Structure formats: C-alpha cells, structure tokens
Amino acid sequence: MSNPISLKSAISRKILVINCGSSSLKFTLFDTDKDGFSANGQVDRIGTYKPMGFEYEGGGTKFEKDIEAGDHKSAFAAILNELTDSTHGVISNPNEISAVGHRVVHGGDIFYATAVLTDEVLAKIESVSGLAPLHNPVNIIGIKEAMAVFPKATHAAVFDTAFHHTMPSYAFLYGLPYEYYTEKKIRRYGFHGTSHRYVSLAAAEWAGKKPEELKIISCHLGNGGSVAAIDGGKSVDTSMGLTPAEGLIMGTRAGSIDPAILLFLMDSYKMSSADLNKLLNKQSGLLGLSGISNDMRDIEKAARQKDERALITYRTFGYSIKKYIGAYLAAMNGADIIIFTGGIGLWNDWARRKAVYQLENLGIILDEEKNKAANGVKTATDISTADSKIKILVVPTNEELMIASETLAKL
C-alpha cells in the first residue's frame, strides 16, 4: 500500500511541521523532492530549569543529548542549529524553509479549515483560547517564535477541531439552554481530527475505494483517545466534546461521567474548580482506575499477572470504546471499516480485542492470530476474519504528514 498523502509538487518545497507543547517542541521537516521526512526530533523539558533534552534524526545520523536549560525561543534556536549543521543538517539556512505548518488544538467555531497565519488569524486563535487554555496559548507561543526564526516562510495553522466541523447540529449540540451555544459557543468540537482524517484516507486506499464510498469508525487510542464516525469522508460524530476531557476513558482523563458527580465532590470534599480540573484531567482514567500507571503497557503487564484492578481497568477501557463503536454503527446505519490507531491502537492487541469483544452479531469478527501479529505494523493491516462483514484495520497514523499536506495546499 502506498502512502495516501503525497507531497509532490511542481516546485521544490521544504515544509517544517511544528507541534508545540508547554514543555516540549516536536518538529518534522519534509522535502517535496523526497519520500518521507528529511529530519525530525523534539526538544523536551522546556522551561523546567533543567537541561533540555534534544532528540534528532536526519542527515544520516540519529542522536539524543542534553542541552542548556531554556525556553521555547532557546528550543527553536537549538533546532535551527541542528537543521543547518555542516555534518548532519538538511538545510543551509532558514530561508530554505518554504512553509511552516503548526498544530493548533482548538479552532472554536471560527476555523473550519487550515488557515494562513496573519496578525488577524492569530488574534482569532487567541480569542478562542478559553476553550483550550492548556493548549492554544502555548501553540501561539510556538507560532510567534517560529515566525521569528523563519521570517520568509508561509506559516499555516492546522486545527485538531477542523475535520469535525462537518458534524450536523444534532450531533454537536448539548442539552443545555440554546443561548449557551449562541452566546458562549458551548458545543461538541472534537479533536484528533488530523489523525482521524489521515487514517480514514489510508483505509480508503487499502479498500481500493474513494473515501466518499465508505462508512468508517476510527478509534484513535493513546494517552488521549477519541472515536470518530466518518461517513463519506466527513466526520458526522466524535466522542470528544467542548474539550478533550469528554468521551473515552484515557490515560489520566476520566472521560464522560455524570455531571452531578462533580457537584457531589464539591460538596463532599470542598473541591474547587481547579481541584476538579486536576482530578478529571490528571488523576483519573487508566491511572486512577488501576492505581498503577497511565501507561497501558504497565497495566497490561499487571493484568497478565491477574492483578484485579488492572483487569477491571482493561475491561472498562475496552468497554468504553465498544459502546462508541455500537453508537456510531447506529448513527451511520452500519459501517464498512473499523480503524485502530494511536499508540495503544497500534501496539496493543489486547486492547483491540476488548474493544470488539462479542460484536460478532453486528458483523464484526476479529481474527485472533492476525490481531496478535499486527502490533506496530507500518501500513494498513486487516485483522478481521475473511467472513467479517465489517473489516477491522490497524493503521499507523501520520499527523505530521497530514499537517504538511494541508500546509502545502496553502502554498
């Protein structure tokens, strides 16, 4: 299977993809004259007053090292230094970069597609930062620093939420007074859109069909996780909501819960909104249920040793996915393909098995041997039986390539 995304262009372009977090900065450089990336890596421990960690692969070399403690400006300077290094660099100067594609988590109800970054666009991204206070402000820091380092490049914002803007209103509205939507834009937005779009294109290519011909349920399972219903190439529903806290049980996020629980906790334990935010996003999910870890590998190890809480956590996690699969079969009146992707979706055969357990009457039949052999596959791989009406695929995602493609389109 070839890659569903091509970066070929009539004019040679070098496109840098940036994913800026509060303490990390990931980068990937693509050259339209080459297949795959030219260089990639990340800087972590940014702003922690500890030496920053630097990982780099490119120019025929691969290394990890510690560099002097610093902020995001220092991290960008370090990246540019390695990209232009005389021995393993892949550009001679920053002006070789044609465009920079930035991952931005939340576009609110303003951005329905990739946007070329201007002062006006930046101001609009800032205006919806209240919807993603942990993500958008630091995304903006990354954009501003990158603009200073690569001043001649076209900079574009690719939004996690954009793919889901095709959801109908009856799918994105909550059962709250309507004015909360019209005045405060409280609605379901959804996330992981770049990943869901990429793997759905890869699945269509695997099937030899156009995306418009397929109904797909995409399960992006990692430390954060979401499920999307994709009908005819368009997202029609997704599990995450106003924020990434809704939906599946995740690494440290509780996922969907009865909202009255929050009122009960506030009254019983005198919790503040900050306490609840920490509980729901940092102390719950796999970590809170298992008491072991937010890493599924640790929980799987304990579960195989018959640790009761680990086993319960595994089953609860799989069941939360299974319910969304059933819901989206109903929403789309069936499906052709179910996709597993993300760190857990790609590498954990046990989690995949739990997610489709006892769905045979719905036409979903897992091939146990194929499933066990599919961990870490490099291309879309079928793990269903020959007589399974709905095919089950493991598909490695490539959000960086998708962002590069969206950015290239803006050139």
CATH code of residue 90: 3.30.420.40
Question: In this structure, are 243 and 373 located in the same domain?
Answer: yes
Question: In this structure, are 224 and 372 located in the same domain?
Answer: yes
For residue 128, being part of any structural domain is answered with yes
Domain boundary among 144, 159, 174: 159
Question: In this structure, are 155 and 255 located in the same domain?
Answer: no
Q: How many CB atoms lie within 10 A of CB 171?
A: 17
For residue 180, being part of any structural domain is answered with no
Question: In this structure, are 134 and 272 located in the same domain?
Answer: no
- Residue 267 a catalytic site member: no
User: What is the span of the domain harbouring residue 139?
Assistant: 14-159
Question: In this structure, are 133 and 221 located in the same domain?
Answer: no
pLDDT at 154: 98
For residue 342, being part of any structural domain is answered with yes
Question: In this structure, are 49 and 107 located in the same domain?
Answer: yes
For residue 194, being part of any structural domain is answered with no
For residue 233, being part of any structural domain is answered with yes
pLDDT at 134: 80
pLDDT at 2: 61
Question: In this structure, are 90 and 151 located in the same domain?
Answer: yes
Q: How many CB atoms lie within 10 A of CB 242?
A: 18
pLDDT at 139: 96
pLDDT at 36: 86
For residue 409, being part of any structural domain is answered with no
For residue 230, being part of any structural domain is answered with yes
**If phi over 0 gives left and psi between -120 and 50 gives alpha, with beta otherwise, what is residue 59?**
left
Question: In this structure, are 145 and 273 located in the same domain?
Answer: no
pLDDT at 41: 97
pLDDT at 14: 96
Question: In this structure, are 280 and 377 located in the same domain?
Answer: yes
Question: In this structure, are 148 and 213 located in the same domain?
Answer: no
Q: How many structural domains are present in the chain?
A: 2
For residue 406, being part of any structural domain is answered with no
Question: In this structure, are 230 and 147 located in the same domain?
Answer: no
Which parts of the chain sit beneath pLDDT 70? 1-2
Question: In this structure, are 312 and 223 located in the same domain?
Answer: yes
User: Could you say which of 33, 35, 160, 231 is catalytic?
Assistant: 160
